[in-house]
Amino acid sequence: MSQSYHLIQISDCHIDDKVESMGVNTHANLTSVINIVSKQKCDTLLVTGDLAHNGTLGSYQMLQHMLTPIVSKIVVLGGNHDQIENLNQIFSKQLISKFSLGDWEIVIIDSTQALKTSGYVTKQALDQLNHDLQNSKAKYNIVALHHPIVSMQSNWDDSLSLENADELFNVMNKYPKIKAVLFGHAHEAAEFNKDNLRIISCPSTALQFNNESRIGFNYYTLHNNGKLEYNTQWI
């Protein structure tokens, strides 16, 4: 009997103590997204970084309140705008390194580096990823991080993406069970394919850096036969 699970990814919320960041009302925009997400079938909500704009404790408290309509499990990872101590103080239970949905296991990597916009995966994080993938009993894996791992082929500055993507691919290439890599940071929706690996960028709930004027999120359906379907839902 075919079974499927539903994963929703939001990213780059940029919530601050003030309602406006980057010239937009990020509070109102995220509220609009949450209103839609809360009505959809969802097993886990994954937030792929830049939850806050300046990383204040108050911004994470505000975000926690804004997420209260979500009844599904919530998993978060830090982005370059996040302040990890404050993030951990409010979202310690949601800052986890992996979670399962049926035959799928999603493994999370920290790609942030102090005081830099671009990403880097340390040797320790790469070794941990290799260990997690090697010991994963799931039939299929997804890897999630904040930074893009390929050229966005857009007006995005690729120097602000992951600096050592080749080292990450050296680990992931050993595991054909990996069906997709999910990330944010670039504030645009896009999909790439590298050696049959789907590489998927999630739009921002705040604003996009390309010509897209809408906000959005990605909705994934994970089937127990290894098929992954998704669509970007715009508001």
Which residue from 113, 93, 115, 109 is spatially nearest to 141, judged by alpha carbons?
109
Each residue of 41-71: pLDDT tens digit?
Answer: 999 999 999 999 999 999 999 999 999 999 9
Class of residue 164 by CB neighbours under 10 A (exposed 0-12, middle 13-18, buried 19+): middle
Report the CATH number at residue 133: 3.60.21.10
The rounded distance, in Å, linking the Cα atoms of 230 and 209 is 22
Backbone angles phi, psi at 177, to 5 degrees: -70, -20
The pLDDT assigned to 116 comes to: 97
Vertex 86, ends 80 and 91: CA angle to 5°? 95
**How much is the average pLDDT of 77-106?**
98
- For 112, list phi and psi in degrees, rounded to 5: -85, 155
DSSP string, 93-109: TT--SEEEETTEEEEE-
Task: Give the mean pLDDT of the chain.
Answer: 97
Structural domain count, the chain: 1
Percent share of the chain, pLDDT over 70:
100
146: left (phi over 0), alpha (psi -120 to 50) or beta: alpha
State pLDDT tens for residues 185-231.
Answer: 999 999 999 999 999 999 999 999 999 999 999 999 999 999 999 99
How many whole angstroms separate alpha carbon 97 and alpha carbon 17? 28
From 47, 21, 7, 1, select the one nearest 179 (Cα to Cα): 7
- pLDDT confidence tier of residue 1, bands split at 50, 70 and 90: low
Question: Mean of the pLDDT values across residues 127-146?
Answer: 97
Residue-wise pLDDT for 113-131, tens only, equals 999 999 999 999 999 999 9
What pLDDT does 52 receive? 98
Q: Which residue has the tokens 């920290």?
A: 110
Model-level pTM? 0.97
Expressed as residue numbers, the domain containing 17 is 4-234
Predicted confidence band of residue 2 (pLDDT cuts 50, 70, 90): confident
Report pLDDT for 74: 98
Residue 173 to residue 127: CA distance in whole angstroms? 14
